[in-house]
Amino acid sequence: MGDWIGLGIFVLVVVGAVVGLSFLGKKRPPMTEQEFEERAAEGRGTTAGVAHALQKIYDPQAARGTEVVRELRAGRFDKKKKRGDDDPHDEGEGKNF
């Protein structure tokens, strides 16, 4: 009985592979230039988004670097405020030295 179940699973996998490959092998009609531009404008795919999220988990400094690049492009990056560095020559702000 166990042999028949194993054989059935094996046949199911082979049939699924053949059907999947035949689906992938179908020719699509040629893409127009407008369709190409629309697909390119959609942006990155989900695979790239997942890879970026995994990179943030694996390397936290890369996530910080991405944040800094966004702030620099927006023109609101302030290195002293972000890192907590205090300039001892800075006047005001009620600092006691």
What band does 13 get if pLDDT is binned at 50, 70 and 90? very high
**pLDDT tens-digit readout, 24-60:** 888 888 888 898 888 777 766 677 778 878 877 888 7
**pLDDT tens-digit readout, 73-84:** 888 766 665 555
Q: Which two tokens mark 91? A: 């006047």
pTM of the model: 0.33
**Do 87 and 80 contact (CB within 8 A), yes or no?**
yes
Angle at Cα 73 formed by Cα 71 and Cα 79, nearest 5°? 40
Cα–Cα separations (whole angstroms), residue 54 to 6, 11, 44, 63, 68: 37, 36, 15, 10, 19
| pLDDT score for 85 | 52
| pLDDT score for 80 | 61
What band does 14 get if pLDDT is binned at 50, 70 and 90? very high
| pLDDT score for 88 | 53
Which residue reads 């059907």 in tokens?
19
**Do 88 and 97 contact (CB within 8 A), yes or no?**
yes
